[in-house]
Structure 1
Amino acid sequence: MKGWMGILFALLAIPAAARAGEVRVAVAANFMAPMEKIVPLFEAETGHKALLSFGSTGKFYAQIRNGAPFEVLLAADDATPEKLEREGRGAGRFTYAVGRLALWSRQAGLVDAQGAVLRSGRFARLAVADPKLAPYGAAAYETLGNLGLLETLRPKLVQGENIAQAYQFVATGNAQLGFVALSQVQADGKLKDGSAWIVPASLHAPIRQDALLLGKGKDNPAAAALMRYLRGDKARALIRSYGYDI
Structure 2
Amino acid sequence: MMLLVCPVFGQAKPTELRIAAAADLQPVLGALGPVYEKKANVQLKISYAASSVLATQIIAGGPFDLFMGADFFFPEKVVAANLADTGSPIPYAKGTLVLWTRKDSAFNPLHLNALESPKLERLAVADPDHAPYGRAGMEALKKLHLDAKVKDKIVRAENVGQSGQFALTGNAQVAIISKTLAVSPNFKDSGVFVLFPFASYTPINQTAVVLRNSSQRDAAHAFLKWFLSKEVQEKLPELGLVAVQ
2:120 pairs with 1:120:
no
Quick one: which amino acid aligns to residue 81 of structure 1?
Answer: P
Give the direction of change, closer, same or farther, for the CA distance of 1:20–1:78 in structure 2 (3 Å limit). same
Structure 2 unaligned blocks of 5 or more: 1-8
Once the two structures are superposed, residues 181-218 of structure 1 have per-residue CA deviations (whole angstroms, 9 ceiling, x without a partner) of 11101159x94432211111100000110011112326
Once the two structures are superposed, residues 6-35 of structure 1 have per-residue CA deviations (whole angstroms, 9 ceiling, x without a partner) of xxxxxxxx84x5054111000100110010
Quick one: which amino acid aligns to residue 77 of structure 1?
Answer: D
Quick one: which amino acid aligns to residue 105 of structure 1?
Answer: T
CA–CA distance in structure 1, aligned partners of residues 216 and 207 of structure 2: 20
* Greater Rg over alpha carbons, structure: 1
2:190 pairs with 1:164:
no
CA–CA distance in structure 2, aligned partners of residues 179 and 242 of structure 1: 17
Out of 76, 89, 103, the position equivalent to 1:107 is 103
CA–CA distance in structure 1, aligned partners of residues 109 and 197 of structure 2: 14
CA–CA distance in structure 1, aligned partners of residues 121 and 174 of structure 2: 9
Instruction: Report deviation, 1:49.
Output: 1.1
Out of 40, 47, 60, the position equivalent to 2:41 is 47
TM-score, length-scaled by structure 2: 0.87
Give me the CA root mean square deviation: 2.0
Q: CA contact under 8 A between 2:101 and 2:110: conserved in structure 1?
A: no
Which moved further from structure 2: 193-202 or 67-76?
Answer: 193-202
CA–CA distance in structure 2, aligned partners of residues 209 and 112 of structure 1: 30
Quick one: which amino acid aligns to residue 232 of structure 1?
Answer: S
Quick one: which amino acid aligns to residue 39 of structure 1?
Answer: G
Identity of aligned residues (%): 29
Quick one: which amino acid aligns to residue 172 of structure 1?
Answer: T
Q: CA contact under 8 A between 1:185 and 1:191: conserved in structure 2?
A: yes
2:220 pairs with 1:223:
yes
Q: CA contact under 8 A between 1:69 and 1:216: conserved in structure 2?
A: no
Out of 76, 89, 96, the position equivalent to 2:92 is 96
Which moved further from structure 2: 72-81 or 113-122?
Answer: 113-122
